[in-house]
Homo-oligomer: A and B are copies of this chain.
Amino acid sequence: MSDHRLQDAIDTLKSSGVRITPQRHAVLEFLLNAMTHPTADEIYKALESKFPNMSVATVYNNLRVFKDIGLVRELTYGDSSSRFDCNTSDHYHAICNNCGKIVDFHYPSLNEVESLAEQVTGFDVSHHRMEVYGTCSKCQSEKAH
């Protein structure tokens, strides 16, 4: 299932002239299989058993490469470190104020907002971002006690 997405991503990289190194492959594979939206450090820690000599810089370098090519999105919330999301299909995020959990959800794209913003601000709008914040179901039930 994700083999397909992985192969597609590798093809995209190759056609951009990017070399496929073992570390790069591992970071990409980890991101594609991740159910969460990991930080650079989480990726680094997850791969250090397989690549004991890998540098944090390598993780950051590769994330930047993936981002520039459009394979991953960088998510910046209030907390200190960025998170990375390789799901490039249109979706939004719900973020728990209590535990930080991030859940994806789908919603028809807000094209109207973009076009209204263009009229009002004079911008040439390329994309938008939206998140909802609240309490996840787990934290809700824990608070009930």
Contacts and interface: CB of A to CB of B under 8 A. Distances in A.
A6 interface: no
Interface of A: 74, 76-78, 82, 92, 94, 96-97, 103, 105-107, 110, 113-114, 116-118, 120-137, 140
Nearest to A126: B134
Stoichiometry (number of copies): 2
Given A74-B78, A76-B76, A77-B76, A105 B128 contact: no
A13 to B, nearest CB: 22
B135 A126 contact: yes
A129 B130 contact: yes
A136 B120 CA distance: 11
Given A78-B74, A78-B76, A123 B113 contact: no
B134 A124 contact: yes
A131 to B, nearest CB: 5
